[in-house]
Amino acid sequence: MAGATNTPFMPGNRIDIFNNGDQFYPAMLEAIGQARHAITFEAYIFWAGEVGRKFAEAMAAKGRSGVTVKILLDAVGSPNIGDEILETLRGSGCQARWYHPLRWYSINRVNNRTHRKSLVIDGRIGFTAGAGIAEASGLQPARPASTTAPLG
């Protein structure tokens, strides 16, 4: 990691590598469950379905318990999130916002998207990923892997 970032790896930190959602979703959900102060989540893809519902319910539970939950979703990548998930999140106090919603006056920015996939828990644990929140990201471990690395 130090060679790729030209930044030294600091003592006391750890990097774990997970391949596909069947490995990294449970770790991410566990970290969400342990949050005490803040959850910051950004994704290009967050779709309705079992995986999306699990993440929404986990973040909503933390929002109801007083943890600050901020969610930024790409308006092009996540239109399939569904009203039920959005209502679950917003109804629990989570701050869910769209990144560059499509508007007639911003059509020149239609390709200015956020392809980031990040989850930060209490400013201490971070996940950066190659896959979004959707069934397609982890149900077939034999296919080429999407890799997620929790940093912290």
pLDDT tens digits for 38-58? 999 999 889 999 999 999 999
Q: Render pLDDT for 12-38 as a digit per residue (tens, 0 to 9).
A: 888 888 888 888 899 999 999 999 999
| Global confidence as pTM | 0.81
CA angle, 9 as apex, 123 and 30 as ends, to 5°?
Answer: 40
Domain ranges of the chain: 15-102+110-137
Residue 28: which residues within 8 A CB-CB, separation 6 or more?
A: 55, 119, 127, 148, 150
- Beta carbons within 10 angstroms of residue 74's beta carbon: 21
Its CATH class, for the domain covering 15-102+110-137, is alpha beta
Instruction: Judge contact between 67 and 92, C-beta under 8 A.
Output: no
* The pLDDT value given to residue 114: 67
CA–CA distance, 13 with 27 (Å, rounded to integer): 17
**For position 34, what pLDDT does the model report?**
97
